[in-house]
Amino acid sequence: MAGVTLDHTSFAVHDAMGWARRLRRELGATPIFGERLAEFGYLLLHVGTADEGARLQLLEPRDEGFLTRFLDARGEGPHHITFVVPDLRTTVVRARALGLTVVGEDYDHPPWREAFIAPDRRHGVVIQLAQSDRSYPPAGRLLSSRTRVVEDFPSSRGATEPLWWTGLWETAPGPVARLGTTHLASTDLEFSRLVFGELLEARVAGDDSELDLSWPGGSVRVHASDRAGVTGMSLRGGPAGGIAIGPARLDDRTPGASPTC
């Protein structure tokens, strides 16, 4: 059975298509897939090449709900980090054993079973746990074709309009940048080691000030801080100065000093 993978880092925005066009023009982003649900829509993008890059998700509100409350309280910025796990029920049991609060459990929709670890003072970000009987094609295939066989892709319960985002193809892509590590500020580095290293099975390196965590699909660097939250993602290429999504930054520096939550 496959292990845990880092699927994507998600950002709440008011206009997902507007942001997607900008990321395509400035970073060469390629759309992977997107759907619409009653309260929100999402679009998943790959920023990078077939061999190097990472996924970024844009969430936009469609009706009053969790996302409008988030945007009203905090504005645009990082919302969650998603990990795909081989056995969601077992992972939830282990998460609760660590004292984590798990909400929004859904085990009865095989294309996308999910649960959410609620944000707390230590990490300041939602951690989404997911399990699916489907998977996305390799990056090379997604980058070389505009065809998306939506029936084969992970799909949320109640989702509609799996091709709502295809107008993005009309935006000419800029030079391809390479998105990389997600940077997360933590107020308790040892607890972060338990959550990401043991519960979520990362390969762990680091010292007393930061942890370098890696999975198939991507990496997270956890920085010790007195304020918790995702501070950004590493980026090679793209515009000078990078791109800010709310208080988080996509750029080539180490975005560890400005927590968002």
Looking at the structure, tell me whether residues 210 and 153 fall in a common domain: no
State the pTM of this model. 0.95
Dihedral of the CA atoms 157, 158, 161, 165 (nearest 10)?
-50
Looking at the structure, tell me whether residues 136 and 102 fall in a common domain: yes
Q: Is residue 25 part of a domain?
A: yes
- Note whether 122 and 187 are within 8 A (CB): yes
Rounded to whole angstroms, the Cα distance separating 130 from 122 reads 22
| H and E: helices and strands count for the chain | 5, 15
Looking at the structure, tell me whether residues 67 and 104 fall in a common domain: yes
Q: Which of helix, strand or coil describes residue 261?
A: coil
Rounded to whole angstroms, the Cα distance separating 43 from 50 reads 19
Q: What is the pLDDT of residue 208?
A: 84
Q: Is residue 226 part of a domain?
A: yes
Looking at the structure, tell me whether residues 203 and 137 fall in a common domain: no
Residue 64 structural domain: 5-158
Residue environment code for 67-96, b if the CB has 16+ CB neighbours within 10 A, otherwise e: bbebbeebebbbbbbbbbbeebeebbeebe
What is the number of domains present in the chain? Answer: 2
Spell out where the chain has E strands. Answer: 5-12, 30-36, 40-48, 53-61, 77-84, 102-106, 113-117, 126-131, 178-186, 203-206, 210-215, 218-224, 229-236, 243-245, 248-251
Rounded to whole angstroms, the Cα distance separating 175 from 194 reads 39
CATH number at residue 223: 3.10.180.10
Q: Is residue 75 part of a domain?
A: yes
Q: What is the pLDDT of residue 141?
A: 95
Q: What is the pLDDT of residue 206?
A: 85
Digitized pLDDT (tens) for each residue of the chain, 261 residues in all:
589 999 999 999 999 999 999 999 999 999 999 999 999 999 999 999 999 999 999 999 999 999 999 999 999 999 999 999 999 999 999 999 999 999 999 999 999 999 999 999 999 999 999 999 999 999 999 999 999 999 999 999 999 999 999 999 999 999 999 999 999 999 999 999 999 999 999 999 988 899 999 999 999 999 999 999 999 999 999 999 999 999 999 999 654 544 443
Rounded to whole angstroms, the Cα distance separating 122 from 185 reads 8
Q: Can you name the residues that pair with 129 across neighbouring β-strands?
A: 83, 115
Q: Is residue 169 part of a domain?
A: no
Looking at the structure, tell me whether residues 153 and 211 fall in a common domain: no
